[in-house]
């Protein structure tokens, strides 16, 4: 049985790491057939809209997509396509697991998940300038949008995810001491939802700044963190750093009708075109996609092949201290896949 899925190779290092990822997936016998589509700069360079209708239609019909990083112009130019995709498909849950797979990692055996609200908060993009006298940009204002509905569904999602994935504790992270309305509502709703899971999943709540410190001092005290949009964005990069950096950070954007899997890192313009990007994050994102379509065994085989490639350490990309290319790294992972098969 094959599953047709949308593939958006992306910008910068995107096409290179996507090609490597697809090659590993094929070698592992993953059941995907790819419908390749463009977005972002890759689309505008072809004279298309940054988010072409054909791309949206493809995701609409296949409901699962693997997406390489997309370049967002800073300060001006078109708005983030990543944000637009989340909004269009109402991908309200951003799941970012952080698990140590690097042998020499600073925090061995770390395994935690961040569930980030993906559609509200400051990133809802409700912002404007207020002009005064001759300065059209005298004041800039952004609205932190928090709804009861959005808070309820993300905290509920976090608890359901915890139940399904054997997690024992949900920590709700907030800043309700200062932002009494917005963050206060998020916390109030969260506490309410938590009551429904009492006795099954432990619940605690923490303030975001203290959480950042605690994550560095003793990340083992956390199991699953649920938080609003911007805090989740920042904390998930922080925990990616704890497990070896952006080279090992996959993410899933989940809604009721579609799921888009991607690496947490961006298009890395500084190394684009050199063929040396680390494809591991996108590969791990593809593993989350395999889990999502009930192909967990295939995902685990790829994860084992990846860990054993890293443990071996002879074929690594420059960000990991080696001198291998993206393609050489992918080939090393593929070789380990067959070792795994031979061991049965």
For the annotated catalytic residues, the residue numbers are 123, 175, 209, 233
SS3 string, the chain, reads CCEEEEEECCCCCHHHHHHHHHHHHHHCCCCEEEEECCCCHHHHCCCCCCCCHHHHHHHHHHCEEEECCCCCCCCCCCCCHHHHHHHHCCCCEEEEEEECCCCCCCCCCCEEEEEEECCCEHHHCCEEEEEECCEEEEEEEECCECCHHHHHHHHHHHHHHHHHCCCCEEEEEECCCCCCCHHHHHHHHHHHHHHHCCCCCEEEEEEHHHHHHHHHHCHHHCCEEEECHHHHHHHHHHHHHHCCCHHHCEEEEECCCCEEEEECCCCCCCCCCCCCCCCHHHHHHHHHHHHHCCCHHHHHHHHHHHHHHHHHCCCCCHHHCCCCCHHHHHHHHHHHHHHHHHHC
**Which residue number, 35 or 117, has a Cβ lying nearer to Mg ion?**
117
Does residue 70 touch ligand NAI according to CB under 6 A? yes
How far apart are CB 262 and ligand NAI at their closest, in Å? 5
Does residue 270 touch ligand NAI according to CB under 6 A? yes
Instruction: Give the full edge-to-edge strand order of the sheet including 224-227.
Output: 32-36, 3-8, 64-67, 259-263, 250-254, 93-99, 111-117, 224-227, 169-174, 202-207
User: Could you tell me if 206 and 171 are in contact, meaning their C-beta atoms sit under 8 angstroms apart?
Assistant: yes
**Which residue number, 69 or 121, has a Cβ lying nearer to ligand NAI?**
69
Stretch that binds ligand NAI, among 88-96, 215-223, 277-285, 336-344 (CB under 6 A): 277-285
Q: Residue 190's binding partner, choosing from Mg ion, ligand NAI, none, with beta-carbon cut-off 5 to 8 A by kind?
A: none
Lookup: tokens for 236: 């998930």
Stretch that binds ligand NAI, among 1-9, 18-26, 68-76, 127-135 (CB under 6 A): 68-76
Q: Residue 252's binding partner, choosing from Mg ion, ligand NAI, none, with beta-carbon cut-off 5 to 8 A by kind?
A: none
How far apart are CB 326 and ligand NAI at their closest, in Å? 8
| Binding interface with Mg ion (CB under 5 A) | 233
**Interface with ligand NAI (CB under 6 A), residue from 71, 151, 182, 309:** 71
15 exposed, middle or buried (CB, 10 Å; 0-12, 13-18, 19+)?
A: middle
How far apart are CB 129 and Mg ion at their closest, in Å? 24
Stretch that binds ligand NAI, among 175-183, 190-198, 227-235, 276-284 (CB under 6 A): 276-284
How far apart are CB 142 and ligand NAI at their closest, in Å? 18
**Which residue number, 85 or 298, has a Cβ lying nearer to Mg ion?**
85
Does residue 253 touch ligand NAI according to CB under 6 A? no
**Which residue number, 152 or 319, has a Cβ lying nearer to Mg ion?**
319
Does residue 277 touch ligand NAI according to CB under 6 A? yes
How far apart are CB 51 and ligand NAI at their closest, in Å? 13
Does residue 268 touch ligand NAI according to CB under 6 A? yes
Query: Binding-site residue total for ligand NAI (CB under 6 A)?
Result: 21
Q: Cα(98)–Cα(95) distance, rounded to whole angstroms?
A: 10
Total residue length of the chain: 344
**Interface with ligand NAI (CB under 6 A), residue from 6, 100, 278, 309:** 278
Q: Residue 233's binding partner, choosing from ligand NAI, Mg ion, none, with beta-carbon cut-off 5 to 8 A by kind?
A: Mg ion
**Which residue number, 80 or 307, has a Cβ lying nearer to Mg ion?**
80
Does residue 269 touch ligand NAI according to CB under 6 A? yes
Q: Residue 253's binding partner, choosing from ligand NAI, Mg ion, none, with beta-carbon cut-off 5 to 8 A by kind?
A: none
Please report, as ranges, the residues that interact with ligand NAI according to CB under 6 A: 13, 17, 69-72, 82, 246-247, 262, 265-271, 277-278, 281, 319
């Amino acid at each position: 049985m094959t599953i047709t899925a949308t593939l958006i190779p992306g910008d910068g290092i995107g096409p290179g790491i996507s090609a490597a990822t697809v090659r590993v997936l094929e070698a592992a016998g993953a059941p995907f057939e790819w419908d390749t589509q463009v977005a972002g700069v890759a689309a505008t360079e072809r004279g298309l809209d940054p988010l072409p209708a054909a791309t949206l239609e493809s995701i609409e019909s296949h409901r699962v997509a693997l997406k390489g990083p997309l370049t967002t112009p800073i300060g001006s130019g078109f708005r983030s396509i990543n944000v637009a995709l989340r909004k269009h498909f109402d991908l309200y849950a951003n799941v970012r697991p952080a698990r140590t797979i690097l042998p020499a990692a600073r925090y061995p055996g770390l395994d935690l998940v961040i569930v980030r609200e993906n559609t509200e908060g400051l990133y809802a993009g409700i912002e404007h300038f207020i002009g005064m006298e001759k300065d059209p940009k005298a004041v800039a204002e952004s609205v932190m949008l928090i709804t009861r509905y959005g808070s309820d569904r993300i905290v509920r999602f976090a608890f359901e995810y915890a139940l399904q994935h054997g997690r024992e504790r949900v920590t709700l992270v907030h800043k309700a001491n200062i932002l009494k309305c917005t963050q206060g509502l998020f916390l109030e709703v969260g506490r309410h939802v938590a009551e429904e899971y009492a006795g099954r999943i432990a619940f605690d709540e923490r303030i975001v700044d203290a959480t950042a410190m605690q994550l560095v001092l003793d990340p083992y005290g956390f199991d699953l963190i649920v938080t609003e949009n911007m805090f989740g964005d920042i904390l998930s990069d922080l925990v990616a750093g704890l497990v070896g950096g952006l080279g090992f950070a996959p993410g899933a954007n989940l809604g009721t009708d579609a799921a888009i899997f991607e690496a947490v890192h961006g298009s890395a313009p500084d190394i684009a075109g050199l063929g040396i990007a680390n494809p591991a994050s996108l590969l791990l994102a593809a593993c989350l996609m395999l889990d999502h379509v009930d192909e967990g065994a295939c995902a685990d085989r790829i994860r084992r092949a990846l860990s054993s490639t890293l443990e071996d350490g002879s074929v690594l990309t420059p960000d990991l201290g080696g001198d291998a290319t993206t393609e050489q790294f992918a080939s090393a992972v593929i070789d380990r896949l067959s070792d795994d098969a031979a061991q049965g």
